[in-house]
Amino acid sequence: MTARAAERKGARPAEAAADHAERLLAWYDRHRRVLPWRALPGRRADPYAVWLSEVMLQQTTVAAVKSYFATFLSLWPRVEDLAAAPTEDVMRRWAGLGYYSRARNLHACAKLVAARGGFPDTEEGLRALPGVGPYTAAAIAAIAFDRRAVVVDGNVERVIVRLNTIEAPIRDAKPEIRALADARTPATRCGDYAQAMMDLGATICTPRRPACVLCPLAENCAARAANLQDVLPAKAVKPERPLRLGSVFYVRRGGEVLVRTRPDKGLLGGMTEFPGSAWDAAGDPEGAARPLAAGYRKLVAPVEHGFTHFELRLVVHVAEVAAGTPAPPGCRWVAESGLADEALPSLMRKVAAAAAG
**Active-site residue list:** 54
Residue type, position 344, single letter: L
Count the neighbouring beta carbons within 10 Å of the beta carbon of residue 281.
Answer: 9
Amino acid at the residue 114: A
User: For residues 51 and 102, is the Cβ–Cβ distance under 8 A?
Assistant: no
Burial state string for 61-84 with b = 16 or more CB within 10 A and e = fewer than 16: ebeebeebbeebbeebeebbebbe
Phi/psi for 276 (5° steps) reads -170, -175
Asked if residues 351 and 345 have their Cβ atoms less than 8 Å apart, the reply is no
Alpha helices in the chain (DSSP H): 3-8, 13-31, 47-57, 62-75, 79-84, 87-94, 101-116, 123-127, 134-145, 154-164, 174-184, 190-203, 222-225, 346-356
Q: What DSSP element (H or E) covers 300? A: none
CA 181 vs. chain centroid, Å, equals: 22
Handedness of CA 80, 339, 70, 63 (dihedral sign): positive
SS3 282: coil
At position 111, the amino acid (one-letter code) is: K
